[in-house]
Amino acid sequence: MALVFAGICSHGPGITGRAERADSALRDPFYAALDGLRVDIESSGAEALVVIAAEHFANFFMNNMPSFAVGMGEEYEGPIEDPDWLKIPRTTIPGAPELSERIITEMMQTVDLSYAKEWKMDHGIMVPLNFLTPRYDMPIIPANINCQGPPLTPLSRAYAFGQALRRACDSVPEKIAVMGTGGISHWPATPNSGKINEAWDREYLDAWAANDKERLLSYNDEDTLREAGQGGFEIRTLTAISGLCEGTTGTVRYAEPIPIFSTMCVVGVMDI
């Protein structure tokens, strides 16, 4: 089996950009949990890391918005944000174009997706990479699900995207790690930023850990917007991991609200 690791984590820009303003009693264990992911990914022997993200208009706009996109570049650059604002230096990230092409070709059998040889990474990928591959020495395959510009990718299709990615991973000899990164409830970049619906988040994470497909696909955008804010739409990235690991349960290693990071900060792994 080529899939050697699957997990989820948060990606809010405050996680690095406003680190000094967080309660260290919450921040430090969160950082430690993120570092645990790094250790696990390295220990897995992964040769490439697929990051399923919810980018925030870094590459895709409403003039041509794909429901799904997967990178096929030799290299990528990021962050697009001011490095001093995000507190992550601008850098070049290696890609895996030939592996990407094989994965994309297989996924296209069941999922309509766009591919991109150019990709600028925003905080949605750079914040996780800052912790997971801090030397930027692991080939990355970025993937995106439209969680920002309605009409959004249906949740059921995000789950199917994960299933297709699993089939693609299993069709190649390389060892592949996959991370899904998105917020749960949050109202990012608004006057409400810092508001978190902890009960909603824990209910979602309970369904995620159980990999309960029926519950995960029962969410709808109207309820999510009301209960979990615009940021709640990003559960698509986490539910894609559920599809990737269908039939397997997961473990939530860390889940605590950190308001200055604008979201419930989460680290979870699938027990593959």
Q: Which helix or strand (DSSP H or E) is residue 131 part of?
A: helix 123-132
Query: Is residue 82 part of the contact set for other proteins (CB under 8 A)?
Result: yes
* Minimum CB–partner distance for residue 196 and other proteins (Å): 9
Of residues 196 through 255, those in contact with other proteins by CB under 8 A are 225, 229-230
In eight-state DSSP terms, residue 230 is G
Pick from 20, 151, 173, 191: which binds other proteins (CB under 8 A)?
191
Question: Could you tell me whether strands 114-116 and 68-71 are parallel, antiparallel, or unpaired per DSSP bridges?
Answer: parallel
Pick from 68, 187, 204, 219: which binds other proteins (CB under 8 A)?
187
Of residues 38 through 67, those in contact with other proteins by CB under 8 A are 56-59, 61-63
Can you say how many angstroms the Cα of residue 173 is from the centroid of all Cα atoms in its chain? 23
Pick from 80, 88, 138, 169: which binds other proteins (CB under 8 A)?
80
Strand partners, 206: none
Pick from 238, 260, 267, 269: which binds other proteins (CB under 8 A)?
260
Q: For the chain, first and last CA: distance in Å?
A: 10
- Three-state SS letters, 191-227: CCCCCCCHHHHHHHHHHHHHCCHHHHCCCCHHHHHHH
Judged by beta carbon, residue 232 or residue 243, the one nearer other proteins is 232
Query: Is residue 192 part of the contact set for other proteins (CB under 8 A)?
Result: yes
Judged by beta carbon, residue 18 or residue 236, the one nearer other proteins is 18
Query: Is residue 120 part of the contact set for other proteins (CB under 8 A)?
Result: yes
* Minimum CB–partner distance for residue 265 and other proteins (Å): 14
Cα three-residue angle 60-14-217, rounded to 5 degrees: 55
Pick from 2, 114, 194, 212: which binds other proteins (CB under 8 A)?
194
- Using N-to-C axis directions, what is the helix angle for 155-170 and 97-107, rounded to 10°? 120
Query: Is residue 185 part of the contact set for other proteins (CB under 8 A)?
Result: no
Query: Is residue 85 part of the contact set for other proteins (CB under 8 A)?
Result: yes
| DSSP reduced 3-state for 43 | helix
Judged by beta carbon, residue 186 or residue 253, the one nearer other proteins is 186
Cα-Cα-Cα-Cα dihedral sign, residues 34, 161, 246, 139: negative
Pick from 190, 218, 248, 251: which binds other proteins (CB under 8 A)?
190
- Using N-to-C axis directions, what is the helix angle for 155-170 and 235-244, rounded to 10°? 40
Binding site for other proteins (CB under 8 A): 14, 17-18, 56-59, 61-63, 80-82, 85, 120, 148-150, 187-195, 225, 229-230, 259-260
